[in-house]
Amino acid sequence: MKVDLRLLPISILLVPLAGCSRHPINKPDETKGSVSGIVICADTGKPARFAKVSLTSAVNGKSQKGDEPLPSDVGIMTGIDGRFRIEAVRPGRYYAYATLPGYVNPEKGIDLAHIMSVNHDEITQRAAAIKAWKAHLVEVDAVAGRNDEITITIDRAAEISGTVTYDDGSPAIGVHFQLLRKTEKNGFSTVGFRFFNNWSIATESDSHGHYLLTDLPAGEFTVCAMLPADNEDAAPHFCLGDVYRIKDAKTFKLSEGEVVPGVDIVIPLGGLHSISGHLEALADGHAINNATVRLLNADDHSVAVGTTTDEDGDFWFDEVPEGSYILEVSNATGQITAQPAAQSAQDNQANSSTACAYADKDLPVNLKDDVNGLVIKLGPCVTRQAVPGAAN
């Protein structure tokens, strides 16, 4: 699984702390401050019992090279009275927020995809995330030897539910879901993110095909069901309105705290095919086991599904709807080993290996039936850098 390292600077803000303790982890420290308070549910006016409270450091706009990209969060769980106390908080300015199932949280409320697209450095990305969630944050200044008392209010989230079935009436069990927020430019951005996870939303349909997506902010959305696969990129999508493509999906609007049932999806069993193949070097036929393979929709080059080659240079896609595609091979790399003609077999380990890259390649695919056994030859492999002593 690949982790997008660009997410690290703002992941602290977006991920509610897992495994928060109900009791202070740190002991009181006179050289540091403390923060205590209560979390209140806005819809009931009652304490938010067993909510997770987090402190995230404010952005100062300065480069932090040579230090941590951002200070680590501290967090704790509220008690049955909704109260909390965090000890030994390093002096400085923080934002406090709380999360509780059924109430809005930053993981689904912040449009991470938009933030990443318009902000290209760590500090501005984090500042944009804080700005987007500012209405739900409480600013607090931790001072050595002082306790700051705050009140955090959490807002009831919206939720949707529905049933996913196959077109023969049987329930679609164990499918994943992708929730997409409609953007200002009539595009879509994924809600949630796949930090250390293969899926942006962890929800799966139950034994009856039912699903429930909670903790949602207000906005306009669509939802797609994804058949079981290794990850979200490789999973075939079947979207609201019983269509294959996100751009053709029906949308729905959610107001704050709204509950919307009956968001149902039907997955067709007909017209689904498989594509498989093998990548090899044009020069000598060896398998290319480090490449990205994607199916793009032919009309707009949007990504339908994607994967990487396995150790034997093979790839495959299952349950792909009929249609016109472009099979795109990219980021293919290899090694060129230089061995002097007079070198003995005992000296092979000392050979110089040079990293190389293959040119990208596109192949049109008009999918009306299964397409298996494709052999795609790439070459030549162009040298990028020398790696002395590396193995072939």
Residue range of the domain that includes 295: 272-338+351-386
The Cα–Cα gap between 105 and 217 comes to 8
pLDDT category of residue 18 using cuts at 50, 70 and 90:
very low
What is the spatial distance between Cα 223 and Cα 265, in angstroms, rounded to a whole number? Answer: 9
Of 239-248, 323-332, 375-384, where does mean pLDDT reach its minimum?
375-384
Could you tell me if residue 327 is inside a domain?
Answer: yes
Q: Classify 107 as helix, strand or coil.
A: helix
Nearest to 12 by CA among 63, 58, 51: 58
Average confidence (pLDDT) over 19-35: 78
Residue 2 pLDDT more than 50? no
Report the b/e string of 70-79 with b at 16+ CB within 10 A.
bbebbbbbbb
Q: In this structure, what CATH number is given to the domain that contains residue 222?
A: 2.60.40.1120
Overall domain count for the chain: 3
Q: What is the mean pLDDT of residues 285-301?
A: 95
Tell whether 7 is covered by a domain.
no
* Omega of the bond leading into 106 within 30 degrees of 0 (cis): no
The tens digit of pLDDT for each residue in 117-157 reads 776 677 787 788 888 888 889 999 999 999 999 999 999 99
Shared-domain flag, residues 138 and 41: yes
Q: Among 154, 183, 203, which residue terminates a domain?
A: 154
Residue 391: per-residue pLDDT: 37
pLDDT tier for residue 323 given thresholds of 50, 70 and 90: very high
Asked whether residue 100 falls in the same domain as residue 203, the answer is no
Percent of the chain at pLDDT above 70?
82
Q: What's the gap between Cα 117 and its chain centre?
A: 14
Structure tokens at 96: 């406090």
pLDDT at 14: 53
The CA distance from 234 to 238, in Å, is 13
Domain boundary among 102, 126, 154: 154
Top-confidence residue, 368 or 384: 368
Whether pLDDT at 160 is above 90: yes
Residue 3 placed within a domain: no
Residue type, 224: C
H or E element at residue 115: helix 112-118
The answer on pLDDT for 19 being more than 70 is no
Q: Following DSSP, what letter does each residue of 224-248 receive, concatenated?
A: EEE-S-SSTTTS-EEETTTBSSGGG
Answer with the one of 125, 154, 183 that is the final residue of a domain.
154
Instruction: Give me the pLDDT at residue 339, please.
Output: 57
Measure the CA–CA gap between 256 and 91, rounded to whole angstroms: 35
Q: What is the average per-residue pLDDT within 280-289?
A: 93
pLDDT of residue 369: 95
Res 334: pLDDT: 87
Residue 385, pLDDT score: 53
Q: How confident is the model at residue 238 (pLDDT cuts 50, 70, 90)?
A: very high
Same domain membership, residue 167 and residue 60: no
Distance CA(375)–CA(281), nearest Å, equals: 10
Q: Which residue in 115, 134, 113 sits closest to 190, CA to CA?
A: 113
> Is residue 11 domain-resident?
no
Q: Residue 318 belongs to a domain with what CATH number?
A: 2.60.40.10
pLDDT at 22: 63
What is the chain's Cα-based Rg? 26
Lowest-pLDDT range of 101-110, 144-153, 171-180, 184-193: 184-193
Mean pLDDT of 38-48: 98
**pLDDT surpasses 80 at 390:** no
Average pLDDT in the chain:
85
Q: Is 320 helix (H, G, I), strand (E, B) or coil?
A: strand
Residue 296 and residue 179 share a domain = no
> Considering the domain boundaries, does residue 51 fall inside one?
yes
d(CA 51, CA 25): 16
Q: Under a CB-based contact definition with an 8 Å cutoff, are residues 221 and 231 in contact?
A: no
Residues 143 and 218 in one domain: no
Structural domain contains residue 256: yes
Residue 104 pLDDT greater than 60, yes or no: yes
Cα 286 from Cα 15, distance rounded (Å): 43
